[in-house]
Structures are given as structure tokens and as C-alpha cells.
Chains A and B, each alone.
Chain A
Amino acid sequence: MFAAILLQFVGSEIIFTEVEETRIERGRSQRLADWLLFANEFIDTRPDAAARMNAMWAPRLKVVQHDAPPTPEHESLSLGPEIAQRVVASQPGLAPLDFRAARDGDALHGTIRLSNGNWLSFRSEDYFRGYSLFYHYTASALLLLLSVVVLALLFGRMISRPLAHIASAAEQVGRDTPVALNTSGPREVRQVAAAFDRMQTRLLDHVTERVQSLAAMSHDLRTPLARLRLNASTVDERETRDALEQDIAEMEAFVTSILDFLRGDEPEQEQPVDIASIAITVIDDARDAGDEASYEGPDRLEALTRPLKLKRLLRNIVQNGVRHAGGAHMTLLRDADYVTIRVDDDGPGIPADRIEAVFKPFTRVETSRSRNTGGAGLGLTIADQLSQRLGGKITLTNRPGGGLSVLIRLPLNRPTVENKSH
């Protein structure tokens, strides 16, 4: 942008200077030609003619009459054809007078052959001084350019800062909490910010409404499910009871995963948490439920995170492995800035072309081995959502030896350990 401004100013300045220069130049050559012609006419009229003319034109022009070619270098006097032509052209009467001139610094000096046969040498001290105007114009142009650039920077900053603020706010919308927008800057930017704020409110209201109705439905299902479960336990015939309990367990899993899915948006405070204790508890719970699960990693690993979300995340991944692959093996690792949680299973894996699709809600990869395995098809969706809420990333890969490997990388945000006094 500034380059464009610079180019325009320099360009217009050059053109302007050029035009102005030509105009001034033409005036100057005209005047010189007029004076020289006048000198040719007037030089013989009285003896002090030269002195009178010099007095009249000083300090612009000085003339001296000679009866011989005035200087040895007279023959060598010449001038760039443009100026000589211009001077002669502006006064055709000068044409037969053998006009010769040369530049000497700012001055122009030269000779003409007078009509009386003598030579007249002349010197105009300031003939070329007008060119300094060029520097004057350039300076003013630069000054103008500088102020324009400073103003542009200033305005740009005034607008760009609140705009950057809005952009970063837009980036945050849809996370845990509504984004507060401080509305400063020019009026138009404030309008954008206000409109953005209203949009955010409408969006949040809309989402909240839908989530609340879905959550309410799921909650309402819990009481009939509890009734069903208690009543089923009093059924005497074992086969019927088992079948009932199996169905109820499936429905419960469905309701639980829907609620987990919806709760992903619930705000939760970050706090220092022993991540290893959460991982171990999730694995122990799975083992207590009779599932094949194991843990490998440190006994303690502290980080700043959201414990309920992390527990739900790990529970969903482990359940996914247990349900679809008959087991889950969790490995916990940490490096300088990240915690890596890997959950491997020995199941059939996921076909390569479906790996992205399984993160979408209600997607199930049905293979010959996993028959009716229950769940809402939300396990990995929840895991993906929760990983994002925790500022991390989840990736799925099929292991070379068979089975699926779920990799979760979370930022460590290690809490600063406060030393309690003893």
C-alpha cells in the first residue's frame, strides 16, 4: 500500500516538475533571446550603450562588445542543441547572429556576432539556478508522503487492533464460555463488534435451547430406566431377567453417552490434577466390570486440566476398545510440553477410508466381529469433542500388527508446584 502511495507521489511529482521546468525554461530562453536581440539593435546607438544595458539587466545578464572573437575558446563554444535551438527558436531574429553558448555551473555564457560585425559576449549568472526548484518540490513531496504514511499507519492501527480482537473472539466462539468483546475503535468497527456480539448471543441461545431439550429428554429417560431395572430384578425366571437387564444396560449406555456428548460443552475450571490417577481409575473400573484393560505409565503425572472432561474422554476411549475390540491397553507418556495417552486394542481396526468418518456423531463401523455392541455411536465423537475442549488432539491409526491405536496429545500446562510450609 505504502509502495503504491510512494509511486504515485513520486510519479506525479516528476511529471509536475518536468512540466514546470519546461515552462520556466521556455520563459528564460525567450527573455535571453529578447535581450540579445535588443542588444544587437541598441549597441551602436550611443557610446555608453553597453554600460546602460548592463545596469538595466544586472545581475541577470552582463554583455561586453569585442571587435575580435572575444576568447580563444570562442570557436569551441557550443551548447546542447536543445537549449541553443530553444533560444534561437524563441526569437527568429537571432538566427543569423551565430549564437554560441556554453554552461558554466549555474551560469550560461556565450557570444553572438553583432550586425555591425563585432562580437558580443554575454554571461547570465543565474540562467540555470531555477533547477534548484526541483529539490524544493522533492522535499515538500517527501514531507507530504511522510505525513500520509504516518496518518495511514495511525488509522490502520486504530482499525486493525479492534478488528484483530474481533477475529480472535470469533475464533473462540463455540468454546466453553461466551466471549466478551470490548467494543472500542472507530464507529464502524464498534458496529461490527456489536453485531458480532448479538450474533454470538443468538447462536448460543439457539444451541443452549436444543441442548437443553435433548438433555431434558435424556434425563427424563433415567427415571423409567431405574424403575425398569428395579422391576426387572424381581423377575424370577433367570433367562427373562438376563435378557431384560441386557436391554436395559444398552439403553443406559445410550442415554449416558448422549449426556456425555451434551456435557462436553459444560464449562469446567482448569485445576491441577494427577492425570495418572484418572487413567488408573478408568482402567480399574473397566477391570472391575470384568473387561480386559491394562495401564502402563507413571503412578503420578500432574498437569493443569479439566478432570471431569478428561475422565469422560478416557472412559469413552477405553469403552470403545472394550466394546468393539474386546480390550484396551492404555499407555501414558509425557515429554516437555505434552501428555500423550495411547489406547491400543487388538480388534479389527477401522477401514482406512472410514477413519475420518467415525468422529461424526452416530457413526458405527459394523464389522463381522462386532455384532450388536450397544452404544449410541457417540464414543469417538465425544472423545474428539473432549480432546478439543482440553486443548488437545486425537488421532486414530490402524496398527501394523492389527488393531486400532487411539492417540491423544494434551498440552501439559504443568502447574507450578507451590511448596507448602512444613
Chain B
Amino acid sequence: MFTQQISNNSAPAPAPSVHNRPATILVVDDDAGMRAALLKVLRANGFHCLSAADGYVMTEVMAEHPVDLILLDVMMPGISGFDLCRNLRQHDGNSIPVIMISARGDEADKVTGLELGADDYLAKPFGDRELLARVRAMLRRSHIAPASSAHRLRELRFGDWTVDLPQRQLFAPSGARVELSGAEYDLMIALLENPQRVIGREPLLEMSRSRLGVASDRTIDVLICRLRRKLGDDERREIIRTVRGVGYIFTMDVERT
């Protein structure tokens, strides 16, 4: 269904709403100033917002209201954001998308958050554009392809290449770690999730969560070019093939584990 839309290249950008009502975002942060600032920006952009100062309030709010997305601070007194996220996924079996917010921008923290079931990770300090781009992308993503918490994948393989999903890392056939930017990684995952299918530029841009400030069709072409170079596919263009006038196709078999 989804891919049909893509191959017709007729899918309009899904609105940041679910079932014809504004999306509800729950902001969980112990810092009142941060909560207020987040609510202000999100409300100004048409989202319906709820807030909670800690895990207990968060549970209460979620029992009473349907929530489409949670913005969860990592460092909170009492129950940390990591624990809340794990409880949500493991005990409640809840698959509401979670974006972790942390003041620690380091790799280890990011990996921990993503391994515990968070869907994305925002490092403080971030701007309104970055916040809105991530929130919108996450809402679209959960709308078109709801993540199933039952079987979270750990690894994708194509040819001799490996993608470590929890660590968001690509490994070359030799085992060497290949550095990708956030946008390149998201684009690669979007391609790997739909192997051997033609995907239009527009849907690719949406699925790759458009981490770049200014996004256009051209952005995808640039990203594809960079990805090809890193995959050693710059010359032959066999792994990612261009479908003229439509978009791109990922040609290799993808093995999921």
C-alpha cells in the first residue's frame, strides 16, 4: 500500500496530525523553564501539548489522554528518562514514539537511549528548527509505518555490509566502521527498509527525517551522492540506482536480524 503510493509518486506530505486532530505531544522534563520553552514552540506550530514534571505525572497523564509522541528528558531526579523509556517499552508494551532529550551529547548516551527503545535523540542545546523537524518526521514515520516494539531489529545486512541499528553504525565488508552523517544514515535506512523498490525523492526526504535545515529534492540527490561515495558505489551506481524522473532504487537483498 505504502510502496504503491511511492511508485505512483503521488503521496503528499502527511500533515503533522493523526486522525484529523492535532497531534498530541507529551513533554516530560523536570526543568520548568525547559518545559515552558518547549510547549511555547510546539504550540506556536500547531501541536497539542501536555506536560509532566516526572515519571509519576507522566503515567497519570498517559492514562487519561491519548498521546502521539513523547519528548523525554534523560536527566531527571527520581526515575531517569532511560528507566521511563525502558518501562514504557518492556512493561507496558507501548510503542508510542519517544524522542530523548539529553544535555550529554556524547555517543555512549545516545546509544543507550536508542538501545532502550527511544526512536530518536536530541542533544541540548537544540534550536526550534531542529526540534520541529525531528518531531514532524517522527509523527509522519509512526503514521505511515508504526514501529512494532515486539521485534525491534538489531542488524541489517546487504552484501558484506552490516548496519548495527542500536548503535546507528555502518560497517564495511572489512569490518571497518564507516562514518555517516545523521541525514545519510536516515536516508540509508529508508532505502534498506524498501529494497528493490523505486522510491520517489519526496517520500525519501520524509522518511529520512530531513535533518538538514533546508530540504529540497536537490538535498536528496546530494545525500544519495554522498552515500554512494561511502559505499564505494560512486562510479558504477549499482547498489543505489537512479530511476530517471522518479527517484531511486536500492538493488541489493537486505537481510534482517
Are B176's CB and A226's CB within 8 A? no
Q: Is B104 an interface residue (CB 8 A)?
A: yes
Residue of A nearest to B175 (CB): A272
Q: B175, A415: Cβ atoms under 8 Å?
A: yes
Contacts of A311 in B (CB 8 A): 179
The answer to the question of A302 belonging to the interface, with a C-beta cut-off of 8 Å to chain B, is: yes
Identify which of A225, A284, A299 contacts B181 (C-beta below 8 A): A284
B126 at the binding interface (Cβ < 8 Å): yes
A230 touches B128 (CB 8 A): yes
B145 is an interface residue with CB less than 8 A from chain A:
no
Instruction: Apart from A229-B125, A274-B172, A285-B181, list 12 A-B contacts with CB within 8 A.
Output: A222-B124, A226-B126, A230-B37, A234-B128, A274-B178, A274-B179, A277-B180, A277-B230, A284-B226, A288-B212, A299-B232, A300-B172
Alpha-carbon distance between A299 and B225 when the two chains are bound, in angstroms: 12
Q: Which of B38-78 contact A (CB under 8 A)?
A: 38, 40-41, 44
Q: Are A300 and B34 in contact (CB under 8 A)?
A: no
Tell me, in angstroms, the Cα distance from A227 to B176 when the chains sit together: 39
- Number of chain A residues whose Cβ lies closer than 8 Å to a Cβ of chain B: 42
CA distance A284 to B103 in the complex (A): 25
Residues of A within 8 A of B174 (CB): 272, 302, 415, 417-418
Q: Is A307 an interface residue (CB 8 A)?
A: yes
Contact string against A for B residues 21-33, beta-carbon threshold 8 Å, 1 for contact and 0 otherwise? 0000000000101
A233 close to B177 (CB less than 8 A):
no
A-B contact pairs, 25 of them (CB 8 A): A219-B103, A220-B103, A223-B34, A224-B33, A226-B37, A227-B31, A228-B125, A230-B34, A230-B131, A234-B40, A248-B125, A256-B105, A272-B176, A274-B176, A277-B180, A278-B179, A280-B179, A280-B230, A288-B213, A302-B174, A307-B177, A307-B179, A415-B175, A418-B175, A422-B160
Q: Could you say which residues of chain B place their CB within 8 Å of the CB of A300?
A: 172, 232
Q: Determine whether B229 belongs to the interface, using a CB cutoff of 8 Å to chain A.
A: yes
| B107 close to chain A: CB less than 8 A | yes
CB of A263 closer than 8 Å to a CB of B: yes
Within 8 A of B (CB), among A297-339: 299-300, 302, 307-308, 311
The digit string for A209-233, where 1 denotes a CB below 8 A from any CB of B, is: 0000000000110111111111101
**Would you list which residues of chain A between 226 and 263 have a CB under 8 Å from chain B?**
226-231, 233-234, 245, 248, 252, 256, 259, 263
A187 contacts across to B, CB distance below 8 A: none
With both beta carbons as reference points, the residue of chain A lying nearest to B211 in the complex is identified as A288
A307 to chain B: which residues have CB within 8 Å?
Answer: 177, 179
Most buried by B among A256, A277, A299, A300: A277
Could you say which residues of chain A place their CB within 8 Å of the CB of B245?
none
B155 CB–A CB distance under 8 Å: no
> When A and B form their complex, which 8 residue pairs have the shortest distance between CB atoms, in order from nearest?
A233-B128, A230-B37, A226-B125, A225-B125, A272-B176, A226-B124, A222-B103, A277-B179
A273 at the interface (CB under 8 A from B): yes
- CB of B125 within 8 A of CB of A231, answer no
Per-position contact with A for B78-95: 1 when CB-CB < 8 Å, else 0?
A: 000000000000000000
| Residues in A neighbouring B146, C-beta threshold 8 A | none
Given contacts A274-B172, A274-B177, contact A225 B226 (CB under 8 A): no
List CB contacts (< 8 Å) of A346-389 with chain B.
none
Distance in angstroms from A220 CB to nearest chain B CB is 8
Chain B residues contacting A417 (CB-CB under 8 Å) are 174-175
From known contacts A223-B103, A223-B124, A280-B229, infer whether A231 and B37 are also in contact, taking CB-CB under 8 Å.
yes
- Interface mask (B116-135 → A, CB under 8 Å = 1, otherwise 0): 00000000111111010000
Whether B44 pairs with A222 at a CB distance below 8 angstroms is no
A224 closest partner in B (C-beta) = B33
**Given A280-B226, A284-B181, A227-B34 contact (CB < 8 Å):** yes
- Nearest CB in chain A: distance from B122 CB, A: 9
- Say whether B212 contacts A263, CB under 8 Å: no
Query: Contacting B180 at CB < 8 Å: which of A245, A256, A281, A415?
Result: A281
**Shortest Cβ gap from A302 to chain B (Å):** 4
With contacts A230-B40, A418-B175 taken as known, whether A222 is within 8 angstroms of B230 at the C-beta atoms is no
Q: Is B115 an interface residue (CB 8 A)?
A: no
In-complex Cβ contact of B125 among A252, A274, A302, A308 (8 A): A252
| Docked complex Cα distance between A9 and B37 (Å) | 89
Q: Which of B170-227 contact A (CB under 8 A)?
A: 172-181, 184, 212-213, 226
The minimal Cβ–Cβ distance linking B227 to chain A, given in whole angstroms, is 11
Confirm or deny: A271 has a beta carbon within 8 angstroms of a beta carbon on chain B: yes
> Taking the nearest CB of chain B, how far is it from the CB of A12, in angstroms?
68
Do B104 and A219 touch (CB < 8 A)? yes
How long is the Cα–Cα vector from A278 to B33 in the complex, in angstroms?
37
Partner of A233, one of B105, B127, B181: B127
Name the distance in Å between A233's Cβ and chain B's nearest Cβ.
4
B44-A234 in contact (CB<8A): yes
CA distance in complex: A273, B181 (Å): 15
Residues of A within 8 A of B178 (CB): 274, 277
Asked if A46 is an interface residue, CB under 8 A from chain B, the answer is no
Chain A residues with Cβ below 8 Å from B172 are: 274, 300, 302
| Interface flag for A23 (CB, 8 Å) | no
Query: 1/0 contact trace for B227-244 toward A, CB 8 Å?
Result: 001101010000000000
Measured between C-beta atoms, what is the minimum distance from A319 to chain B in Å?
Answer: 16
CB distance from A313 to the nearest CB of B (A): 13
Given the complex, which residues of A lie within 8 Å of B230, measured CB to CB?
Answer: 274, 277, 280, 299
Question: Closest CB-CB distance, B236 to chain A, in whole Å?
Answer: 13
Inter-chain CA distance A421–B180, complex, in Å, is 26
A225 with B124: in contact, given A274-B172, A299-B229, A299-B230 (CB under 8 Å)? Answer: yes
